[in-house]
Structure 1
Amino acid sequence: MINSVRSLLVLCAMLFVGFAQSADLSGITSKEAVTALRTTLTKGADAAVSNLGKADGFLGNPAVRIKLPDFLENSKGMLKMVGMGSQLDQMEVSMNRAAEAAVPQAKAVLKKTIQNMTVEDAKQVLGGGDTAVTDFFRSKSQADLYTQLLPIVKSKTAQVGLAQQYNALADKGSRFGLVKSEDANLEGYVTNKALDALFLMVAEEEKAIRANPVAAGSAVLKKVFGSMK
């Protein structure tokens, strides 16, 4: 573990060319850097789960509302003409309700990832772009999150008979290149969209903290991110 402030600065300069020249990190310790990143992730995760894991967290938010897979969305007008409008609407509602139910289960995985963050991890993302912390977070937790959320999504979509019909139809369509492979399974499609929304929310929180660390109400965030301006 690197305890020397000088060593941390040298390593940061090597990893992020040009960044160290414009930021004053001389007063930041390794412990403070890790604490700042953990705090950022905790705030982002809490905000994301709180905003998404509730009634209309997806359905009522145009930025994250899960739409029908492309091949259905593009055919929506025609399908409505043949009397399938209500079924499509029901499917879209059920997808979003499934995501809303699944997202709260992400908290345990997110917290574990945060607690496992090391000084080495902090060096990798300290001086990155506006969403560098979120990007790191996603790379470390996405696979586990998918495994955690998928069974809940399956349980919720199974309550709608169209889920099974969709998978059978999409599977045939994917064999002929009519349906994207990632859209061929309704449960997988919804789970991936839920994760996209989750990390979008985390990223928005990170950008807000970087832009105004004082408003985050944390002394260490003010010190670390404030020094990068």
Structure 2
Amino acid sequence: MFKQITFILALLSLTACDTTDLNSVLGAVLNSENGLTSTEIGSGLKQALEIGISKGSDRLSRENGYFESPYKILLPEEARKVTDRLQNIPGFSNLEANVLEKINRGAEDAASKAKPIFVNAIKSMTITDALGILKGDKDAATVYLKRVTYQQLYNEFNPVIVESLDKFNARDYWSSAVNTYNRIPLINDEVDPDLDDYVTNKALDGLFSQVAKEELDIRNNIGARTTDLLRRVFAAQDN
């Protein structure tokens, strides 16, 4: 109990410290609690993130990584009116199946580009961020990563998605279908033929979900802590 009170008081005192004092106080608290320095906490959390990111992006970038996974990208609800209406028109009988495969292949192709973007993004994590993640909720690292990188990732990821969709002719195929639909007489609710924004957001949602799964595994599964530093850092969380 005395150690817990000391720990809480020390954290409260951080608000009155400058950066140098904060690092010193936080380092002393961490050392007294579990033998870890603040630098080790930061390094351990970065290792955990990199492991989760690597596994997550690698799995999703494989063939069928999206297409045959819980993160399969489905067509938006409004797209169903297009596929339902065109299924009896020659050339579009398998429209939904073809588009689904093409957009998921595009996402798989783009996922291979995500790892270095994530890795570069976590280098800015502060000591305070690291401690908060270690003691936070089971998905604290993923929530942090999504909060600080989503827009940057979108900006970097979207051109890759566009290139990947074009590689599989998905955008042209979908645009042709939508334009055909929009020309049907008495159609009053035209559909936007733009596909890449939707696919980009869904691809990133799947990527973050996979990273969260890997984070949970590292937190809960001792066997997933593959380095000595990870074992030491997350042992502090366990306690």
Q: Same fold (TM over 0.5)?
A: yes
Q: 1:107 aligns with which of 104, 115, 135?
A: 115
Determine the structure 1 residue equivalent to 2:173: 162
Larger mean CA deviation between 38-47 and 106-115 belongs to 106-115
- The 8 Å contact of residues 36 and 220 in structure 1, kept in 2 or not, is answered as yes
**Corresponding residue number in structure 1 for 2:214:** 205
**Which amino acid is the alignment partner of residue 152 of structure 1?**
V
Contact 2:82 2:178 in 1 (8 A): no
C-alpha change, 1:163 and 1:77, in structure 2 (3 Å) is closer
Q: Does the Cα contact within 8 Å between 1:94 and 1:156 map onto a contact in 2? A: no
C-alpha change, 1:153 and 1:226, in structure 2 (3 Å) is: same
Aligned residue number for residue 24 of structure 2: 3
1:80 aligns with 2:68: no
Contact 2:175 2:193 (8 Å CA) reproduced = no
Query: Alpha-carbon deviation of 1:76?
Result: 4.8
Q: Following superposition of structure 1 onto structure 2, how do residues 218-229 of structure 1 map, counting pairs within 5 Å?
A: 218-229=227-238
One-letter code aligned to 1:112: N
Equivalences for residues 24-63 of structure 1 within 5 A: 25-61=33-69, 63=70
Tell me, yes or no, if the aligned pair for 1:153 and 1:191 is still in contact at 8 Å. yes
Q: State the Cα distance separating 1:58 from its structure 2 match.
A: 0.9
Question: Percent of counterpart pairs with the same letter?
Answer: 28
| Corresponding position of 2:204 | 195
2:74 match: 67
Q: State how far apart, in whole Å, the 1-side matches of 2:156 and 2:221 are.
A: 33
* Paired residues of 1:25 and 1:228 also in contact (CA < 8 A): no
| One-letter identity of the residue aligned with 1:192 | N
Could you tell me which runs of 5 or more consecutive residues in structure 1 were left unpaired when the two chains were aligned. 10-23
Cα offset, 1:167, TM superposition? 6.8
Alignment CA distance shift 1:164-1:82 (3 Å) = closer
TM-score, with normalisation over the residues of structure 2? 0.75
Matched with 1:19 is none
Structure 2 gap segments, 5+ residues each: 1-18, 183-187
TM-align CA RMSD = 3.0
Mean Cα deviation higher: 190-199 or 76-85: 76-85
